[in-house]
Structure 1
């Protein structure tokens, strides 16, 4: 009985600590996202809003009960940007409702956090990112417009920038956090050489592709394929995250592949690159992981079949039979 009472007393403390931890992670991710901002039609937005990815990852790992931490983190983030007005309530509702809708939708379709199936990757892309983030962007932009902080003529560009930023946060940040949560062991010592080679190539190739005036962003994709083939989701998503951050920095500074472009063109080019990068990394690694697990299942089935055949052969072996040519024991005659 004392143990039960002790557990009940600890529940509020655990809930408070969990809420504070989620709020801290949300706020820190939001501040990092605000370091790279673009201005389109007078509206300031982040090309990749990491807080939505952090929020969805926390919901998938910790459960629906961590939503107050998301709201609290969003409140402190709004407070750090400027004095909150009536629109802050709508923004908080939207930034909480978007990840919650994504969580509920993904759970309903049987989403697995290890992203070991192609259907999990497709669900995260189309339901978690593109679908659920419509809620956060619509509620947030409508709140700004009702508060008089947004000209109605700028509604659609602002809404599009908000939606894409939230969706990119889910596509790029959530898989990385899920990979870190699901990680059980580090690569073996024999594979560290290839890991270091991949890191070295990425450190040279990605900045060259994003900062070169030749617009050589396509050079990132062979690196992404290499990472997905050899290290599956962990390798491909970390490469995608590094490439996305590097490209976002180049876009905000207007250099490299984003030189001499209008703000709208910069936004479109950057988001098309980020979106195609995240989709390629996520779906390709999901297909490779699914095929890997299928091969393991086939190998296990073959081993079980071989063991069953050996067992049957052992039972049918002539060890307990009389050798050929030996006389059979006489049979008893029946009596009338």
Structure 2
């Protein structure tokens, strides 16, 4: 009986590992569809596997790390042959999300992102701090193996770091939303949701591909999405805008036309980073304010009920008289 239970657990763990590896590999291949080249290094402006890895760790715990490592190995092997440097890249790409998970758990992070502290933790611990590991290991190995000169270290390192961080900031919150989704919005919200989607499909391609620099038009849309649909609206809007901006940057059109590769990288990553920060932090502040308002409303309602009972000369509903209590002013001995 014990052996059967152990076999069942091993089988479940194996399936979970393969599922995580498959999702990581699929996300990696998706990210590699639109790479940017700086010097001899190829990187992606958004690296979705980091977001997939962080989300998998919050769903499965630390037992998800073998799947992350296997997925990272498959992605690297799709680009090059198996060499010792490949194992170093796999180690860096595995250690970064694991460290992000451990630091976020230590900080009391909640995947619902319903508090400002959750948004700040995801930005500064899960994305900016933890992804230093993968960027430093990956670019450091390129320099050590002679594939990248020391003069190109910092531009490539910055691009690698920001790309990994964007995967955490844009992809992980979207996966958290899918995990915690319980029911669709009420029918009364659908007209506004459809209007927001229609405006986004018209405005975002215009902002990212117009020869006039109109990227700033994205921010009013983000504010609308955050105010009316909180995290779901702002994160999906930011992810859509980031994908369109990446397509425009890799095609060299719109605000990215006529720029060098380094200038394209800096402009795109600045836009993606500021947009992700705006979406996460603004929606977290709005959700926190809504929760505070509901708590105050509940407290006021309870206070009104207590005052009504006191005025009527009755005990409050949550404090029934104890057995043996006499009427007011009388105290009977036992």
Give TM-score, length-normalised by structure 2: 0.92
Distance 2:125 2:27 in 1: 22
Conservation of the 8 A alpha-carbon contact between 1:87 and 1:146: no
Match of 2:273 in 1: 275
For residue 61 of structure 1, report the CA deviation from its aligned partner.
Answer: 1.9
1:205 aligns with 2:203: yes
Distance 1:13 1:297 in 2: 45
For residue 307 of structure 1, report the CA deviation from its aligned partner.
Answer: 1.9
1:33 aligns with 2:45: no
Match of 2:155 in 1: 157
SS of aligned partner of 1:35:
coil
Conservation of the 8 A alpha-carbon contact between 1:49 and 1:165: yes
Per-residue CA deviations over 1:157-210 (Å, capped at 9, x if unaligned) read 211111111011111111111111111110011111111101100000000000
For residue 43 of structure 1, report the CA deviation from its aligned partner.
Answer: 1.4
Q: Within 5 Å, which residues of 2 pair with 1:1-336?
A: 2=1, 6-316=4-314
SS of aligned partner of 1:315:
coil
Give the gaps of 5 or more residues in structure 1.
318-336
SS of aligned partner of 1:39:
strand
Give the gaps of 5 or more residues in structure 2.
316-334
Distance 1:275 1:8 in 2: 45
Conservation of the 8 A alpha-carbon contact between 1:59 and 1:67: yes
Q: Alpha carbons of 1:310 and 1:6: their partners in 2 closer, same or farther (altered >3 Å)?
A: farther
Conservation of the 8 A alpha-carbon contact between 1:86 and 1:147: no
Whose Rg is larger? 1
Per-residue CA deviations over 1:50-85 (Å, capped at 9, x if unaligned) read 000110111122211100000000000011112122
SS of aligned partner of 2:45:
coil
Conservation of the 8 A alpha-carbon contact between 2:40 and 2:147: no
Per-residue CA deviations over 1:118-158 (Å, capped at 9, x if unaligned) read 00000100111110000111111122222332222221121
Q: CA RMSD in A?
A: 1.3
SS of aligned partner of 1:23:
helix
Conservation of the 8 A alpha-carbon contact between 1:168 and 1:274: yes
Aligned length: 315
Distance 1:220 1:282 in 2: 15
For residue 315 of structure 1, report the CA deviation from its aligned partner.
Answer: 2.9
Distance 2:153 2:296 in 1: 54
Distance 1:18 1:309 in 2: 55
Distance 1:11 1:316 in 2: 58
Conservation of the 8 A alpha-carbon contact between 2:142 and 2:148: yes
Conservation of the 8 A alpha-carbon contact between 2:246 and 2:268: yes
Give TM-score, length-normalised by structure 1: 0.91
